[in-house]
Amino acid sequence: MHKEIIKDIGEKELIRRIAKYMPANQTSDDCAFVESKKEDLLINTDLMVENTHFNQKVISPRDIGWKSVATNYSDLISSGCIEFVGINIGLVLTSDTEWEWVQELYEGFYEALKKFGGAILGGDCSRGENKMISITAIGLQGKLKLRRNACEPGEILLTTGIHGLSKLGLLLKKNQLNIEELNLSEKLINLSIDAFRRPTPKSKILKTIIQSSEFFIKKEIGCTDSSDGFYQAILDLSKESKCKAVIDYQKIPKSDLWPNGERWDQFYFFGGEDYELLISLPRDWAKKLIQLDDRITEIGYFVKGSPNVDIKNYPNQNKLDNNSYSHF
């Protein structure tokens, strides 16, 4: 009899199965919510594994350090974190790892923490066959809670920025695209590589969302980040909130320099690691938020129905293949 292996069941099914050993809704979001008498905490853990998430030919150890902090902080932000406490670092190194590599990695940690807040709180290290970095980030939960399962039919779906840049940056760093053949502009190349190597979590935009909440009663709103891709983020909101998402292809924001075509739509929808926020709000609230920050764009809405993502006004008759990222 064939035994199931992790590669067959996939990451989402793995999480669903192990969730039964945890409190209700504990895996609905990337962050764990811990309630206490004084301050409510948000706790998030992310792994970066050599040859799965990084290698020395594509990204420097200093950028890996920065990115490790930024990815964790983005998860905290997408749950409503108002202050970063800091990070614990679990480090697995090969025996022949050079000290300079570790030093550069920690310089990257330090640069990111200096910019975004928090401190290195501690951690552990061990030996392994591949390098691995495990970051546990801790932050304070604000009064406005952002949750994947808080979207409601009739609400407007918003994005805080454009997608696809990090995917393009990765492909460029891996020399998998011919720049001259594609006639890519130098500005787009630089933007994409920066988006890949030095992502910026959207803490300033979160402050604007919190500011706009003063005008409305609702204390929990639908939100996630696009770390696993634009399409997957919307699908996660849809599934956790048990309603259908409808997005308008003609409304999604793109860089003026972004090429047209199905291949580039694949990068946009399924690239991942852009760390923009996807937000669901009542219409009046959505209008108020867009007035406060013009980087935020209305791209669709939620309706009653089976969890799914419906793409309106897509110019190609062939539907996009769902190529969302999976760790397995």
The residue ranges of every structural domain in the chain are: 31-140, 145-312
320 by Cβ neighbours in 10 Å (0-12 / 13-18 / 19+) ranks as middle
| Mean pLDDT taken over the chain | 90
What is the spatial distance between Cα 32 and Cα 253, in angstroms, rounded to a whole number?
A: 31
Task: Look at strands 297-303 and 244-248 and give their pairing.
Answer: antiparallel
Q: pLDDT for 4-27, tens place per residue? A: 776 787 777 877 886 777 677 777
d(CA 43, CA 322): 30
- Name the band, by pLDDT with cuts 50, 70 and 90, for residue 189: very high
β-partners of residue 246 are: 301, 310
How far, rounded to the nearest angstrom, does the alpha carbon of residue 66 sit from its chain's CA centroid? 15
Burial 257-279 (b: 16+ CB within 10 A, else e): ebeeeeebbbbbbbbbbbbbbbb
Mean predicted confidence (pLDDT) in 299-322:
86
Predicted local confidence at residue 86, as pLDDT: 92
User: What CATH number labels 31-140?
Assistant: 3.30.1330.10
- For the stretch 226-267, pLDDT in tens is 999 999 999 999 999 999 999 999 999 998 899 998 899 999
Quote the distance between the C-alpha of residue 294 and its chain's center: 21
Q: What percent of the chain has pLDDT over 90?
A: 67
**Beta partners for residue 141, in sequence order:** 81
Q: Which two tokens stand for residue 86?
A: 């800091």
Average pLDDT over residues 306-321: 83
For the entire predicted model, the pTM comes to 0.87
Confidence band, pLDDT 50/70/90 cuts, at residue 322: low
Q: 169 or 56, which is more confident?
A: 169
Contacts with 98 (C-beta within 8 Å, 6 or more apart), sequence order: none
Domains 31-140 and 145-312 alike in fold:
no
With contact defined as beta carbons under 8 Å apart, do 237 and 245 qualify? Answer: yes
Q: CA 297 → CA 146, 161, 218, distances in Å?
A: 18, 7, 21
- What distance lies between CA 177 and its chain's CA centroid? 24
The CATH number for 145-312, chosen from 3.40.50.300, 3.90.650.10, 3.30.70.580, 3.30.365.10, is 3.90.650.10
* Per-residue pLDDT at 295 exceeds 90: yes
Is residue 328's pLDDT more than 60? no
- Cα separation, 311 vs 320, in Å, equals 9
CA dist., res. 123 & res. 100, Å (int): 19
**288 exposure class (CB count in 10 Å sphere: 0-12, 13-18, 19+):** middle
